Amino acid sequence: MKQTECTTILVGKKASIDGSTMIARSEDGGRTIVPEAFKVVMPNDQPQHYESVISHQKIDDSDLLPDPLRYTSAPDASNENGIWAAAGINSDNVAMTATETITTNSRIQGIDPLLEKGGLGEEDFVTLTLPYIHSAQEGVERVGYLLEKYGTYEMNGMAFSDKDEIWYLETIGGHHWAARRIPDDAYVIAPNRLNIDEFYFETPGFMASNDLQDLIEEYHLNPDEPNQYNLRHIFGSSTIKDAHYNNPRAWYVHRYFDPDFDGQPGDQDQPFITYPKHKISVEDIKFLESSHYQDTPFDAYGDQGTPEQKKTFRPIGINRNFETHILQIRNDVPSGIAGVQWLAFGPNTFNSMVPFYTNITTTPASFQTGPKFDLNKIFWLNKLTAQLGDTNFRVYGALEEDFEQKSLAQCHKIQHDTDKEAVNFSGDELQDKLDAANQKMADTVYNNTVELLGNMVKEGHGLMTLKYDLLD
């Protein structure tokens, strides 16, 4: 079973540089490499009968609704442990990312335990939700229904977006849940902890299991003042692990968006809803999803800290990044080109994102990863550049910066040209146009990555330990 430990970033439409909504997540795994792919699921390919591979939970056919929508996904390449669709945008321009592994505590587990048999998990949620929803709020309602009916065996957070709204949902115990709409002018950083803090029942912008408030009162779960609900305090954790593994990631993001942000990396009560000092771009999100505490003593590649400090906190960019996405719904273009799934595979310190249009019928071959090592696939190529780059970041990091800026600029140019040309197309012709643009961007980034690898080999030639020269 794959355990993903991710980092989620959400950006409301008034907090983004171009008025789009953006929901992003790095899909991280454990010590075993988990190859990820990029696929389009057509309505006829959506399962008509469903059983989870991990839990063997069967879904009633009546809950696999008629007329599913087409959607993109980033599934595991092997399918050994199920689909794990991870993230995508459907043909109604509704996006979903699932899931962020989060924390819990013994109090709620003693009341509504996680299931030991059956139930749904990260393997299932996108496949059972994204093709059936027509708005971000419908995503919350759909997952809430599934959780209450089938339950879950793990704690997870997930996000939904459309052109106007972003909602973030967290599972609570085996059958409960809560969700909050993210304000349009705010951003969220959600590491692997229960993240929702202030919560107002029966208030617009907040949704939860019908009995959640009664459950809090009945079992005396609220440690704060009466009628003041902080779900992180009630259902989450505040542990030493949080102080080293989770909270520092939030601290670094807050510090990036607000240099005057007050606090320490391990602080337990860092805010869930936060307001940036400047408009947020895709490049900002990519930098943060690649970050490793640059310009602090905690940077594993830096020269400020001691060896102990460099290992103190878990960074966002890490060797266990296997797939990272930014799901963008744009508001300044026609609906046929509004959905963009920015996608990168492998460790984020040595890759570049590609802005794939999602109104498509196929994906580029280099992003259709197979489970075996294959340098024709961008996933495996990125893994190679990252592992080589990690041997001497001071030398190879500068090459990566040039590569990423070049790749993003070229993709932006292709996207701008395609946006302008797309107004003359519709239906199948538009999809063919977008398929071609996606292929061009995938080829561009693949070729740039090969060039990066070649430049790294050239730079590294003289740095090898196994060398001998009479002039040395």
**Residues in the chain, total:** 472
* Interacting residues of 446 by C-beta distance below 8 A, sequence separation 6+: 366, 378, 381
Least Cα distance to 28 among 59, 7, 51 occurs for 7
Is 411 noted as a catalytic residue in this protein? no
Joined tokens for residue 20: 């789009």
Q: Kindly state the tokens that stand for 90.
A: 């459907």
d(CA 189, CA 187): 7
- Catalytic pick from 5, 6, 83, 256? 6
440: tokens are 């061009």
Q: How crowded is residue 248: how many other Cβ atoms within 10 Å of its Cβ?
A: 25
Neighbour order of strands in the sheet with 95-101: 87-89, 95-101, 156-161, 166-172, 176-181, 206-208
Q: What is the DSSP letter of 332?
A: S
* CA-closest candidate to residue 219, choices 106, 102, 119, 114: 106
| Cβ atoms of 166 and 12 closer than 8 Å | yes
Among candidates 264, 269, 256, 258, which has minimal Cα distance to 313? 264
Tokens 């229904």, residue located: 145
3-state secondary structure of 32: coil
How far apart, in whole angstroms, are the C-alpha atoms of residue 452 and residue 351?
A: 10
- CA pair distance 112, 45, nearest whole angstrom: 35
* DSSP per residue, 156-219: EEEEEE-SS-EEEEEEETTTEEEEEEPPTT-EEEE-SS----EE-TTSTTEEE-TTHHHHHHHT
Query: In whole angstroms, what is the distance from residue 293 CA to residue 302 CA?
Result: 9
The position carrying tokens 């330990």 is 465
Residues marked active site are found at: 6
